[in-house]
Amino acid sequence: MLQTTTKRSIPSSGLSLRFLTTRQISSRPVDFAFTPEQDAFRAEARAWLDANVPREPLPSFDTREGFESHRAWERTMADARWSVINWPSEYGGRDADLMRWLIFEEEYWASGAPGRVNQNGIFLLGPVLLEYGTAEQKQRFLPSIARSDEIWCQGWSEPNSGSDLASLASRGVRNGDDWVLTGQKTWCSRGAFAEWMFGIFRTEPGSERHRGLTYILIPLDAPGVTVRPITQLDGAAGFAEVFLDEVRVPVANTLGEPGQGWTIAMSTTGFERGVVLRSPGRFMATARRLVELYRSRGPDVPASLRDAVTRAWIDADAYRLHTFMDVSRFLAGGEMGAETSLNKIFWSEMDLRMHRTALELLGGEPDPRWLDGFYFSLAGPIYAGTNEIQRNIVAERVLGLPRS
């Protein structure tokens, strides 16, 4: 894992992992310690979460009631400036680096805090708004995302364009100062209740594949938008398909330049698959609960299940350390490239294994939390790009294998 290249002492952010040459690994220990500032930050986050996390779990955010109670929780976090800690302070953040963000996430999930109802806005749109947005767009959208006054859904997939997203057909036609949008988006998480959607549209007539696409921000109450909820396996209907019938959206709602949609979308995808959507803290919390469940089952648990619990813990910790290494490298000026596909395969398959193990330990005993988690873990190998596609990416771009 640490057979990376150059000797670099990582600067003031106090990064825990240092990059060593293979020769140095044998002669020098890796420093896993956090800095005193990072420890103090962790203590501050933990104290706030201890005092504020709702005692009872909120209803599912895929229901209207749960959606609104999660929005209220987001506002509580925003009031204390915990909702978007790695954003600039002028938009409600704390200017935290990614290392602090990982620490916060560990504390967040360990505390049993609710899921993030505006994760699309906060984790996917926010970073690209900061990178590609105009000053007006940042001022207009970022504070309302930070407070979840406006909750966003992601409008990329279409009925005939999922894995092959570049084949998308929804189009935008320029008319004066507006785009006129027509088409259908599907599988929009929390789209049934969201106020806004970010989507990609074909705006250059006759363009093909990833060329001629534009990234557009769409209010879901605009005339011509129809949101149709989709009922999920667990019975809730937060998912939606979104139909657009000559919907007029100001050209000022274009993120980046017309035609730049694919580039921006792919930079969102990197964040999504990489560390940001599923940070290790989430899986460490699941692994911890799994160990507790195992302990509660008494001495007669079969050895195979004991081994599965042990593996879950080791996997979650390995993902944690790997992510700290990735982030260390990123903060030291490195890039997150196609390797993020490896992360996505790893966390989604690990999550599924952990939930299967929990259900086996329960042996048919009803436990809504584990069951809901299991249902959701089934989707992990599909969303954010299926694992088959991720394996193709790893084969071609990480390992350099031929396309066929």
Ligand X SMILES: Cc1cc2nc3c(=O)[nH]c(=O)nc-3n(C[C@H](O)[C@H](O)[C@H](O)COP(=O)(O)OP(=O)(O)OC[C@H]3O[C@@H](n4cnc5c(N)ncnc54)[C@H](O)[C@@H]3O)c2cc1C
Residues that bind ligand X (CB under 6 A): 153-157, 162-163, 187-189, 379, 382-383, 385-386, 388-389, 392
CB of 64 to ligand X, least distance (A): 18
Q: Looking at beta carbons, which residue is closest to ligand X?
A: 162
> 350: which residues sit within 8 A by CB, 6+ positions away?
283, 312, 315, 316, 319
CB of 157 to ligand X, least distance (A): 4
CB of 315 to ligand X, least distance (A): 22
CB of 268 to ligand X, least distance (A): 11
Distance in angstroms (rounded) separating the CA atoms of residues 267 and 347: 20
Catalytic pick from 272, 339, 365, 388? 272
CB of 267 to ligand X, least distance (A): 16
CB-based contact 195:151 (threshold 8 Å): yes
For ligand X, the closer CB: 134 or 163: 163
Residue 226: DSSP 8-state: E
CB-based contact 347:316 (threshold 8 Å): no
The gap from C-alpha 67 to its chain's centroid, in whole angstroms, comes to: 18
For ligand X, the closer CB: 182 or 392: 392
For ligand X, the closer CB: 133 or 380: 380
State whether the Cα torsion 275-276-277-280 is positive or negative: positive
For ligand X, the closer CB: 62 or 74: 62
For ligand X, the closer CB: 46 or 356: 356
The one-letter code for the residue type at 88 is P
For ligand X, the closer CB: 186 or 279: 186
CA distances from 50 to 44, 63, 251, 320 (A): 10, 26, 45, 23
**Long-range Cβ contacts of 42-49 (<8 Å, 24+ apart):** 42/103, 42/106, 42/107, 45/82, 45/103, 45/104, 45/107, 45/108, 46/107, 46/111, 48/80, 48/82, 49/107, 49/108, 49/111, 49/113
CA distances from 323 to 2, 112, 274, 334 (A): 12, 21, 9, 13
> 313: which residues sit within 8 A by CB, 6+ positions away?
287, 290, 291
| Catalytic residue flag (residue 272) | yes
CB of 379 to ligand X, least distance (A): 4
CB-based contact 128:255 (threshold 8 Å): yes
Q: Point out the residues that are catalytic.
A: 272
